Structure 1
Amino acid sequence: MIGELLSSIGMSFIWPLTSVYLHNRLNVSLSIIGIVLLFNSLASVLGSYLAGYLYDRQNPYHLIIGGISGATMTLLGLTFFHGWPIFGFWLFANGFTSGWNLTLVNSIGTSITTVDSRYVFNMLYFSQNLGVVIGTSLVGFIYNISITLLFSIAAGLFLLLLLVAVINYRPAAEIHRQRSSHHYQSMQHRHPLPTSNKLILIAFFISLLIIWTMYQQWVSNLSVYMTTLGIPLKNYSFLWTINAGLIVVIQLMINWLAHYHQHLIIQILFGISMIALSFGVLILAKSYGYFIISMIILTIGEATTFPAIPALVNALTPAQTKGRYQGLLNAWSSTGRALGPLFGGIMIEWHSYTFLFLTAALTILIVWLGIGLLWWSISHRLTIYHSA
């Protein structure tokens, strides 16, 4: 949790200002910025997949130390060399290490058996968003002082994260050795993942691709839409403060509710329905109050869905392949984040913002219906695995 908090604060010094810094300070066109952000997301996809693949085969302690070291180097590079086009290179490298580290942290989280896996992923998500609250509340002030200072503080946070990892993440290596001796001695007796498990996992991956594609409209296109309605940009930024702050509160509530219900699929379906409803509210949004309501509903949806899916994926995969499937989960999510701005731009140019919001709401409802029907039809055939 401490590691995720430090990482999240450091990354929150980078992603909110990327477009503003490139456009306003470096005079880079919006179309080029779009390409840079696309490659940043694609690098995250690559980092996620490779980290998940290697986690099942290599020492995870060495992998996470390498990933954090790489992220630290990119931030040190940004501190001293943040002109154009070198900034684009650092952003690509940062995307790769971000996907790498997130996957490894989630994969290592699957090995924790002293508490319920839902608690592990809820608290990781809690730490990530507490970091967003802290980072986004500071980034504007530091940015106005000095961009070099901003990057140097981010690099300093990752140096501290590296120290925390070196000292505290070593048990991951011991768990890896135990898994190796227990599972790989009997590889000839290893059974493939059941078909029902594969089907529901594929459904989750496709669902995350779609949901994140739609969710990215909040990140990429809502700011433009709100300013066309005469709503100041600072009001749009405040929505993300509401988002991160609510997630922190909701995660604490979910941890309490987890003692009273054991069905992750109910939590996931409820969350997806809330995300769909948030876009339904956006269809009617013409004043700032509607955007606040929509953001609150969206936050309830993401806070219940996004940490629950990796926890359920963990339960549906054996120990030998947990890293691979956590990596695939993050890779599909990153692909959605990469496609989101492009998809939204095409829909807006082809029709309108209202049509985009309607499409998002209906598509997510279809996802909700599809997962619900699939789970109802095959849940009795699913094989549940336990971390070991």
Structure 2
Amino acid sequence: DSRQVFNMQYLFMNVGVVLGTLTVGFLFDNGAKLVFGTATAMYVIFSVLVILTFNVPGMTKQAARSAAKAARSTFKPPFLIYILLGLTFSLYLGYILWETVIATHMTALGLTTQDYSMLWTINGIVIIIGQVILNRFLADVSFKLTVLGGTTLFAISFIFLMFARTYTDFLVAFLILTVGELLASPQIPAWIDAIGNPNAKGQEQGYVTMMISFGRALGPFYGGVMIDHGSYKLLFFSIFGLLMGFSILSWLVDNRLKMAHKKARSSQ
């Protein structure tokens, strides 16, 4: 089940982030060499695991056949996939702001670096626990409901940020964003996998990764420009508008596709 695959990938990615940030604090007290040496050892262990366990019988031939079919195919991705890629870009454009300009915003309001760091610890814990719980309940829920519901929560968190002044305000906003992230982030690639071309799954997931990287790259620049020439409130509201715009567009396009499929079936 592709949904299960992407959920597990998302879960263990965040487990790594939480354990890594906890571990590096202890390792760094003994010098930077130990930090980098440990990271190198982890990559060596992973490489050994790849060599020993990633040799799936028949996978090479299957991949070659899929690549050949994809090369001959004139298939064009459904328009909904492009909308979901835009949604992915918007999510990570907003998410990277928490790692950049919001840290400055919080310290400017008199909050400490420790306060900011604690938010990420809480974020990781909530994601790990929440993902384990949600995996049991989301199997029968549609991609549209989970992705667009999560994106809406994600967008609402930026409305809270517009009026955040105390640590509690930022904590509430970040918890809302975290729940939205839990619902939307792992489900978007699963949704694209479900509606995409079976012979171009790798290429489509490559587009997802590209949009994530593009959002992370552009986010700090966009945030800086908006703050220099506008305000934090304007920045947060623009992210809210961008997310809700892609959510509404995704809803409309998906409904239109379903109506088209129903008409096609009834005509047969």
Please state if 1:175 is matched with 2:59: yes
Using the TM superposition, give the Cα deviation of residue 316 of structure 1 relative to its aligned residue in structure 2, in angstroms: 1.7
- Conserved? CA contact 1:179–1:319, under 8 Å: no
Q: How does 1:107-256 map to 2 (within 5 A)?
A: 116-171=1-56, 174-181=58-65, 184=68, 190=73, 192-193=75-76, 197-256=77-136
* Percent of paired sites with the same residue: 29
Please state if 1:357 is matched with 2:241: no
Rounded Cα–Cα distance in structure 2 between residues aligned with 1:144 and 1:346: 37
SS in structure 2 at match of 1:256: coil
Using the TM superposition, give the Cα deviation of residue 377 of structure 1 relative to its aligned residue in structure 2, in angstroms: 1.4
Rounded Cα–Cα distance in structure 1 between residues aligned with 2:40 and 2:160: 39
The match for 2:216 is 337
Figure out how many residues of one structure are paired with residues of the other and give that number: 261
Question: Which shows bigger deviation, 132-141 or 116-125?
Answer: 132-141
Give per-residue Cα distances to partners, 1:292-311, cap 9 Å, x unaligned: 11111111111111110111
Rounded Cα–Cα distance in structure 2 between residues aligned with 1:334 and 1:186: 25
SS in structure 1 at match of 2:62: helix
Q: Which amino acid aligns with 1:165?
A: V
Q: How does 1:1-388 map to 2 (within 5 A)?
A: 116-171=1-56, 174-181=58-65, 184=68, 190=73, 192-193=75-76, 197-259=77-139, 261-381=140-260
- Conserved? CA contact 1:200–1:375, under 8 Å: yes
Give per-residue Cα distances to partners, 1:244-292, cap 9 Å, x unaligned: 1111112112210134x24111100011001101111111110000111
Rounded Cα–Cα distance in structure 2 between residues aligned with 1:325 and 1:209: 14
RMSD: 2.0
Rounded Cα–Cα distance in structure 2 between residues aligned with 1:227 and 1:246: 24
Distance 1:241-1:316 versus aligned 2 partners, 3 A rule: same
**Under a length normalisation based on structure 1, what TM-score does the superposition of the two structures give?**
0.64
Rounded Cα–Cα distance in structure 1 between residues aligned with 2:70 and 2:182: 39
Q: Which amino acid aligns with 1:254?
A: L
Give per-residue Cα distances to partners, 1:101-124, cap 9 Å, x unaligned: xxxxxxxxxxxxxxx211111011
The match for 1:98 is none
- Conserved? CA contact 1:126–1:247, under 8 Å: yes
Using the TM superposition, give the Cα deviation of residue 178 of structure 1 relative to its aligned residue in structure 2, in angstroms: 2.7
Distance 1:185-1:161 versus aligned 2 partners, 3 A rule: closer
Using the TM superposition, give the Cα deviation of residue 191 of structure 1 relative to its aligned residue in structure 2, in angstroms: 5.3
Q: Which amino acid aligns with 1:242?
A: I
Q: Which has the higher contact order (CA 8 A, sep 6+)?
A: 2
Rounded Cα–Cα distance in structure 1 between residues aligned with 2:91 and 2:203: 21
Rounded Cα–Cα distance in structure 2 between residues aligned with 1:185 and 1:378: 25
Distance 1:307-1:170 versus aligned 2 partners, 3 A rule: same
Extract unaligned runs of 5+ from structure 1. 1-115, 383-388
Distance 1:169-1:231 versus aligned 2 partners, 3 A rule: same
Using the TM superposition, give the Cα deviation of residue 236 of structure 1 relative to its aligned residue in structure 2, in angstroms: 0.4
Q: Which amino acid aligns with 1:338?
A: A
SS in structure 2 at match of 1:170: coil
Q: Which amino acid aligns with 1:361?
A: F
**Under a length normalisation based on structure 2, what TM-score does the superposition of the two structures give?**
0.91
Rounded Cα–Cα distance in structure 2 between residues aligned with 1:186 and 1:286: 52
